[in-house]
Amino acid sequence: MSIFVDKNTKLIGQGITGREGLFHAQRMLEYGTNLVAGVTPGKGGEWILDGKVPVFDSVKLAQEATGANASVIFVPSRFASDAIFEAADAGIELIVCIAEGIPVLDMMRVRNYLDQKGVRLVGPNCPGLLTPGEAKVGIIPGDIAISGDVGVVSRSGTLTYEVLYALKEKGMGVSTCVGIGGDPINGTNFIDCLRLFEEDPKTKKIVLIGEIGGTDEEQAAEFITNNVTKPVAGFIAGQTAPPGKRMGHAGAIVQGGTGLAVDKIKALEDAGVRVAKHPEEIPKLL
């Protein structure tokens, strides 16, 4: 089993005819993802990727024609929130938004709307999802992970890749990898993924990759203490970051005495999580 996506997921790509959309759509299709359609207003009726994927003018038309239940968004940030609204209104159950730079106020509106409709959002500003051997939704390289029983959830994109490859090098496979993104307001958080990994019979172990800023990791630690029975290993990025400096992600800022790496590490260790000093130590800790 897996969480969020598998070989039966019917995916559409919003902004699929742009440079990034086309590039990653090709990678997803080659991986075996069930990419059933693309959406670009004004280009409906075209076929792309050697005639394998039809393009529609709207998500509603694409969903009605294909029965799609998931969407990946490669639309530029200034249009991304509208793209999320469009997907939700068309009946898409899972939305993965790769775009970064969406204003916080826009995301507050998006999150409130999606919560009312019961639609799952992964991202924004995230690498997406990977269920090895079944489906790749987003920009995670498909060849750096093998199928197995380790569930991975991460706020960091590139660290996700490093951990997946380290696991593969040790012959350890992944059930599903979820890149939740590093923005202050996102759709899916650590607790959402931890709950699903705990319920997933195929997932036997869990990896949590956090970073400085906010209190998400501390909240995850509390959830692990009370609800998670499976072994968890973790890593916190930004352990040497100076206070008050933004480090890569919009949410990775330490201020007001909160969000320090040392506090996150202590909370996780108190919850029984084995925290690595370097990402490549995670396979050994598991």
**278 is a catalytic site residue:** no
Q: Closest by alpha carbon to 227, among 261, 259, 192? A: 192
- The angle, 0 to 180 degrees and rounded to 10, between the axes of the packed helices 77-89 and 59-66 is 40
Can you give the length of the chain in residues? 286
Catalytic residue (one of 136, 205, 249, 264): 249
Residue type, 130: L
- Enzyme catalytic residues: 249
